[in-house]
Amino acid sequence: MKESYILSLDQGTTSTRAIVFDRQGHSVAIHQKPIRQIYPKPGWVEHDPVEIWESARECIDGVLLSAGIEATQIEAIGITNQRETAVIWDKHTGEPIHNAVVWQSRQTADICDKLKLEGHEDVIRERTGLRIDPYFSGTKVTWLLDHVAGARERASKGELLFGTIDTWLIWNLSGGLVHVTDYSNASRTLMYNIFERRWDSTLLGLLDVPAALLPEVRSSSEVYGHTDPSCCGGVAVPIAGAAGDQQAALFGQQCFEPGMAKNTYGTGCFMLMNTGSEAVRSKHGLLTTIAWGVDGEIEYALEGSVFVAGSAIQWLRDGLEIIETAAESETFAAQIDSTDGVYVVPAFVGLGTPYWDSDVRGAVFGLTRGTGKAHLIRATLESIAYQTKDVAEVMVEDSGINITKLRVDGGAVRNDFLMQFQSDMLGVPVERPTLEETTALGAAYLAGLAVGYWKDKQDLGGQAKVEKRFEPTMDEERRSELVKGWKKAVIAAAAFK
Ligand SMILES: Nc1ncnc2c1ncn2[C@@H]1O[C@H](COP(=O)(O)OP(=O)(O)O)[C@@H](O)[C@H]1O
Ligand SMILES: O=P(O)(O)OC[C@H](O)CO
């Protein structure tokens, strides 16, 4: 009998990837396709939903080809996705009414300001675990309905559907038959009550979003439907798992016990700590979110969200054009011993945890005549570690649990300089696993568990081995001096509005 596999589709902010995993959780083949970033105005970020779907089809075909396997050998497909990004499309034609409004986009800042002014912050936080911020899907849906000609009328006639990217992909994969999302994605919309587990009519009223637009919320690990004959080589493969990418990474890292945490370094940086069946409310700007729903049990997480991490490196590459590849940032950073007091605050789309300031913009401090491009590059890399330190500090305060080591994943963890500096800033070891694709693995686990490919969590074979452990080497005096400079830089950036 031929070997069988699980296919994971990881639709991230900068690219779509399909990865085939075997029973040992090893990746057998990967196919990746970058996706276009559309910046219609300063602070706005959009994606083309049709391009996203086409990239997913291409990645599925491509990964089967490079793995040398047939679609009949795929036991299930798991989906994981950039979260919060909102798409609205026509139920009958499948055509999106507008570009997808991306999680990073600030185009709904005015709607958020109005909601805050009207005093809705508490009710929203109490029900969703989130804050009023353009980051979350809710105000993006309001914006789409208000700004696309005729959208409200079509919505009221029941002609339109809303989805985050998981929903959009499942709907397309199933040939337009299945309109669902999972708990983890629903919990990022600002419309879902994470405590009562239902779309919340009060919140829908505040956001002016008709309930008919919304997908059904299902568990993160179950068969939602099957692939349509037009994709996956005509084979009806079960679509059996879905989770937002950060929750999927938590699952892929097997952080199953309360207190276990991971940090993912992709376009942004997201630290999540499992809090088990208890939803911990933050006092310091962390988010309370659903980690996943599996086998009828919901688990929660505390999250710190940093909006700009790897994308700051893309800015050095594509905006300033001072590096040719992201990897080159490491070479430049290593050429000097310090930034000589230069700080970059990469608040290109505002700041997330713990500051939650959507009006602050990026800034550079401490320039002298001796500042060269290596200083700017190193300061940009360091800013990723400082932002993570800010999150880690409040995570410890809110959870009461000391972080004694940090498990990491995501594209930017290949940067040894960044990982070492991170360890130095946190004063704890940073562990990089052998498998970087833990996000995709998490979605594969969720899908595989649903179809019995793996029996249960114990059958997953334990956490991935540590490929490299970065130990803190910086003395305390130097660390606190550097951190003091960072805090001053953030305050100064926030004051410049
Ligand atoms: N060696 C590197 N050093 C620093 N950043 C890197 C490196 N390699 C990749 N990156 C950054 O990682 C990000 C890609 O990671 P990935 O996990 O694929 O992100 P996403 O899922 O958000 O699309 C990009 O923003 C890129 O700039
Ligand atoms: O695309 P990523 O991996 O940076 O993840 C984006 C997050 O899901 C946004 O909340």
Q: 305 CA to middle of ligand 2, Å?
A: 9
Each of the 497 residues of the chain gets a pLDDT tens digit; together they read 689 999 999 999 999 999 999 999 999 999 999 999 999 998 899 999 999 999 999 999 999 999 999 999 999 999 999 999 999 999 999 999 999 999 999 999 999 999 999 999 999 999 999 999 999 999 999 999 999 999 999 999 999 999 999 999 999 999 999 999 999 999 999 999 999 999 999 999 999 999 999 999 999 999 999 999 888 888 999 999 999 999 999 999 999 988 888 999 999 999 999 999 989 999 889 999 999 999 889 999 999 999 999 999 999 999 999 999 999 999 999 999 999 999 999 999 899 999 999 889 999 999 999 999 999 999 999 999 999 999 999 999 988 888 888 999 999 999 999 999 999 999 999 999 987 789 999 999 999 999 999 999 989 987 778 899 999 999 999 999 999 999 999 999 999 98
Strands (E), 307-371: 343-345, 363-365
Q: 114 CA to middle of ligand 1, Å?
A: 35
**Cβ(108)–Cβ(129) under 8 Å?**
no
Annotated binding-site residue? 36: no
Q: 268 CA to middle of ligand 1, Å?
A: 9
Using CA positions, which residue lies closest to atom 10 of ligand 1? 412
**Cβ(343)–Cβ(379) under 8 Å?**
yes
Q: Which two tokens stand for residue 277?
A: 């069946």
Sheet holding 74-81, edge to edge: 27-34, 15-21, 5-11, 74-81, 238-244, 221-226
Using CA positions, which residue lies closest to atom 23 of ligand 1? 14
The per-residue DSSP string of 63-115 comes to: HHHHHT--GGGEEEEEEEE-SS-BEEEETTT--BSSPEEPTT--TTHHHHHHH
Calpha distance 255→258 (Å, rounded): 8
Annotated binding-site residue? 415: yes
Cβ of residue 13 lying under 6 Å from some atom of ligand 2: yes
The one-letter code for the residue type at 490 is V
pTM given for the model: 0.93
Residues whose CB falls within 8 Å of the CB of residue 337, separated by 6 or more in sequence, listed in order: none
Q: What is the ipTM of this complex?
A: 0.97
- The dihedral through the CA atoms of 326, 382, 284, 492 has a sign that is negative
